[in-house]
Amino acid sequence: MDYISGLNDRQKEAVLHPEGPLLILAGAGSGKTRVLTHRIAYLIEERKIFPGNILAITFTNKAANEMKERVAELLGGDIGYIWMGTFHSICVRILRQDIDKIGYDRSFSIYDRDDQITLMKECIKEQNLNKDIYKERSILGNISSLKDAMISPDTYINQNYNDYYRRNVGELYALYQKKLKQNNALDFDDLIIKTLELFRADPMVLDYYQKKFKYIFVDEFQDTNKSQYELIRLLADKHKNLCVVGDDDQSIYKFRGADITNILNFEKDFPNTKIIKLEQNYRSTKNILNVANHVIKNNSERKDKSLWTDNEEGNLVVVETLPDSQEEAYFVANMIEKLMVEGYKPSDFAILYRTNAQSRTFEEVFIKRGIPYKIVGGLRFYDRKEIKDILAYLKLIQNPVDDISLKRIINVPKRGIGNATMGKIEQYANEVGESIYSVLQKLDDIPDLSTRAKNSIKGFVEIVNNLMRIKEQMSIKDFIEEVLKETNYIKELEKQDDIESRTRLENIREFISVAVDFEVKNPEGNLEDFLATVSLLSDVDKTEDLKNTATMLTVHSAKGLEFPVVFLVGMEEGLFPIFRALDNESELEEERRLCYVAITRAQKLLFITHAKIRTIYGNTSYSLPSRFIDEIPKNLITTTEESSNLGNNKRRLVNIVDRTKRRKNNTVKSQENKDKVQVGTKVNHKKWGIGTVVQIKNKDEDKELVIAFNEPIGLKRLLLSIAPIEIV
């Protein structure tokens, strides 16, 4: 295969570069990553470099996966022995091999954000510090910066001995590290720091990797911090075949210590660096690129660049004002439905937001609308084990024939009911054609059960029967607490008393607040309604093809990616740019670079939205449109009203979609159509509009449906025979 056709001259030059350090500095969408992947393929195929001698580093898992796919495609197979991944994943690989040389066990755990917070809370408590002043998140932020800058707890304490607050931060840092070590755990920053420590402590290990990695590549080089830079500098020290690509306009991790001086140092640390600049953008339409250029040009700390494109003019960028964040989510969902009618597929869409907390509203609306989606970088709340466990208990109590739920929790916490026992019970239940829970009521009929097993099961059945009896007598919140208590679920976690169990306990508390929230919104709602709502939230996309889903992600994690259609949401002063940047010029410039990153992800269509009223962290306030919107010349933007001439009522966009769909269905008589209703079916109700069927129960001759409609209507119970609905 030819690795250089389809590249422009500058790109070719980079791919064919013979040996030695190479620095590619260029704007968004100019083909930096493409050059990098082509060069890797070229080295392997043409220059016969062994794949195991290549190391390629990117910033996010998603970017790493895309890079793997691109290289595999070029090589016509898989990427074999190439080491390709994020700084973190590369370091984990190295540490799993050799971390015992610096006193850790090789089976170390990696603590995620939640675990870190739990651990820091403990440290603050142990140090007897006021938790209103010492907030775990901000302390962790401090510690992370210190680690990036490679400053140890002792150094920091000594430097700040006379500053009471900082000295305490230093003490917390020391204690936090000690506890990590006791738990044989590393946090994300440690992964880099400990690898460096290992290289320093054991030159043989360093030597091995220096020899191994003859060619090293780093994408998004503008975002490397000090410790990461040190790591690649060390690794490349022998062969000096280091190729880094980056864009100073996209440097968005200054707050994490990313250091643009790394680019300057690079030329110093690696004399005779070849520098290549790329100027043609291949990703976006002229209009989108134009908007991006106009925004970034307001930064003063930048080298002026001229990025141009040969692509089509494209549509104007849409800027849309919505009354509140709910409406914003509906707007995006409506637009997506409309564009899908025009032929776009779910995976063409990305919703970019500034802060993770914004995703929840979009999740809820997408679920209601049946738009498949995934969230990049983060386990969804309802995917967590403890949440699934509680739900399984509740589902079983609500619905004793739910064997799946029963099997999930019959031995959680451990009650000595093993797989063999369960096997016998299940087999018997199958033979007699009853649910598992029902045969558990008559244990003596089940062959071959030991007395011990029988006793354990009796205990379990008693607990569940009891809970079934009392469920109507209390609020949902109280009932959930009762379940957690009676089943010993909480007690077991408390007994376990480690980071993991404490994190689980916090998630359970969060789940209880979901219940409280539900009760406030649905004073009439019972456990069944609650489960219907929650199951709807948790069950989505299980069966969906995860590849063909819309993507929700923060702007930070969108770096390096591209999507045909981008919704850049929550563009409001105080949100984007974020509040703390409002009175700080340098942070503001970082926010602007972030905005530039967001805009340049879009290939064909870009929608920018802002809401007039927004609730952030429980506070509702009026918000002004982001200054970045004001920086776009008016002739480059439009609104959906102008662009589709729909008049004032945005709801009409929905109507258009509905009408197209209805036309399709009108030929089918609604009554025969109705028999096809099943869980997940979307229906259109005369008064309430589009909803999704979330539950069906036989009721005498008829069926009772629970349908989730858009807020504020919510869940409704209807009898199938008389409900004025049709399938859409």
Catalytic residue numbers read 32-33, 219-220, 250, 601
Number of residues that bind Mg ion (CB under 5 A): 3
326 close to 366: Cβ distance less than 8 angstroms: no
CA torsion through residues 37, 41, 42, 48, sign: positive
> Considering only 116-124, 192-200, 221-229, 555-563, which stretch makes contact with Mg ion by CB under 5 A?
555-563
Give 206 or 602: the residue with its C-beta nearer to Mg ion: 602
Output 282 or 518, the one with its CB closest to ligand ATP: 282
**Shortest distance, CB of residue 598 to Mg ion, whole angstroms?**
14
Q: Which of 11, 30, 33, 168 binds Mg ion (CB under 5 A)?
A: 33
Amino acid letter, residue 698: N
Distance CA 278, CA 525 (A): 60
Q: How far is the CB of 283 from ligand ATP (least distance, A)?
A: 4
- C-alpha distances (whole Å) from 256 to each of 141, 180, 223, 556 are 8, 21, 9, 12
Contacts of 570 (CB under 8 A, 6+ apart): 325, 328, 353, 354, 355, 358, 576, 609, 610, 611, 614
**Contacted by 726, from Mg ion, ligand ATP, none: CB < 5 to 8 Å by type:** none
Q: Which CB sits closer to Mg ion, 72 or 461?
A: 72
User: What's the token pair of residue 620?
Assistant: 């509702």
Closest contact distance (angstroms) between CB of 6 and ligand ATP is 5
Burial class (CB in 10 A: 0-12, 13-18, 19+), 299: middle
Question: What gap in Å lies between CA 256 and CA 377, rounded to an integer?
Answer: 18
Instruction: Give me the residues that bind ligand ATP (CB under 6 A), please.
Output: 6-8, 11, 26, 28-34, 247, 250, 282-283, 560, 562, 600
Task: Report the nearest approach of ligand ATP to the CB of residue 204 (Å).
Answer: 36
Nearer CB in complex with Mg ion: 54/63: 63
- Strand 689-699 with 702-709, pairing: antiparallel
Sign of CA dihedral 128, 134, 140, 145: negative
Q: Give the closest residue to 569 by CA, choosing from 232, 330, 391.
A: 330
Contact of residue 283 among ligand ATP, Mg ion, none (CB under 5-8 Å per partner type): ligand ATP
Q: Residue 44: exposed, middle, or buried by beta-carbon count in 10 A (0-12, 13-18, 19+)? A: buried
Least distance to ligand ATP, CB of residue 181, Å: 37
Residue 560 CB, nearest approach to Mg ion (Å): 4
> For the chain, give me the number of helices (H) and strands (E)?
29, 23
Helix H, strand E, coil C: the string for 201-239 is: HCHHHHHHHHHHCCEEEECCHHHCEHHHHHHHHHHCCCC
Rounded to whole angstroms, the Cα distance separating 474 from 7 reads 68
Nearest-approach distance from CB 47 to ligand ATP, in angstroms: 21
For CA atoms 100, 152, 254, 115, the dihedral sign is positive
Quote the CA–CA distance of 597 and 568 in Å, as a whole number: 11
List, in order, residues 6 or more apart from 683 with CB less than 8 Å away: 677, 690, 691, 692, 693, 707, 725, 726, 727, 728
Nearer to Mg ion, 33 or 290 (CB): 33
Nearer to ligand ATP, 15 or 329 (CB): 15
103 binds, among ligand ATP, Mg ion, none (CB under 5 to 8 A by kind): none
Q: Binding to Mg ion (CB under 5 A): which residues in 559-598?
A: 560
State residue 713 phi and psi, 5-degree precision.
Answer: -70, -50
Binding-site residues for ATP sit at 26-33
Q: What's 105's DSSP letter? A: -
Minimum CB distance to ligand ATP smaller for 79 or for 727: 79
Q: Which amino acid is it at 336? A: I
In the complex, the smallest distance separating the C-beta of residue 197 from ligand ATP, rounded to whole angstroms, is 31
358 binds, among Mg ion, ligand ATP, none (CB under 5 to 8 A by kind): none
Stretch touching Mg ion by CB under 5 A, among 32-40, 205-213, 466-474, 648-656:
32-40
717, 705 contact by CB (below 8 A)? yes
Strand pairing of 242-246 and 274-278? unpaired
From the list Mg ion, ligand ATP, none, pick the one residue 29 interacts with, judged by a Cβ distance below 5 to 8 Å according to partner type: ligand ATP
Q: Does 29 bind Mg ion (CB under 5 A)?
A: no
For residue 511, what are the CA distances in angstroms to 395, 516, 534? 15, 9, 10
Strand pairing report for 242-246 and 215-218: parallel
Residue 247 contact among Mg ion, ligand ATP, none, beta carbon within 5 to 8 Å by kind: ligand ATP
Residue 295's contacts (CB-CB under 8 Å, 6 or more residues apart) are: 592, 595, 596, 599, 628, 631, 632
Minimum distance, C-beta of residue 295 to ligand ATP, in the bound complex (Å): 15
Element (H, E) at 217: strand 215-218
- Which amino acids are annotated as binding site, given as ranges? 26-33
Residue 227 or 600 having the CB closest to ligand ATP: 600
The least CB distance from residue 339 to ligand ATP, in Å, is 20
The residue count of the chain comes to 728
Nearer to ligand ATP, 16 or 696 (CB): 16
Burial 640-652 (b: 16+ CB within 10 A, else e): bbeeeebeeebeb
Nearer to ligand ATP, 305 or 408 (CB): 305
8 binds, among ligand ATP, Mg ion, none (CB under 5 to 8 A by kind): ligand ATP
Looking at beta carbons, which residue is closest to ligand ATP?
A: 31
Q: Which uninterrupted H or E stretch holds 89?
A: helix 87-98
Q: Which H or E run includes 566?
A: strand 563-568
Query: What is the distance between the alpha carbons of residues 385 and 507, in angstroms, rounded to a whole number?
Result: 10
Tell me which residue has tokens 């259609």: 565
Residue 501 binding partner per list ligand ATP, Mg ion, none, with a CB distance cut-off of 5 to 8 Å that depends on partner kind:
none
CB 576 within 8 A of CB 628: yes
Structure tokens at 315: 């549509």
User: Which of 278/371 has CB closer to Mg ion?
Assistant: 278
Q: Which does 688 bind (CB under 5 to 8 A by kind): Mg ion, ligand ATP, none?
A: none
708 pairs with which residues across the strands?
692, 715
Contact partner at residue 170 from ligand ATP, Mg ion, none, CB < 5 to 8 Å by partner kind: none
Longest dimension (CA), the chain: 84
Residue 267: enclosing H or E segment and its boundaries?
helix 261-269
In the list Mg ion, ligand ATP, none, the entry touching 11 (Cβ below 5 to 8 angstroms by class) is ligand ATP
* Spatial separation of the C-alpha atoms in residues 720 and 723, rounded to whole Å: 5
Cβ 32 to ligand ATP shortest distance, Å: 3
**Site of interaction with Mg ion (CB under 5 A):** 32-33, 560
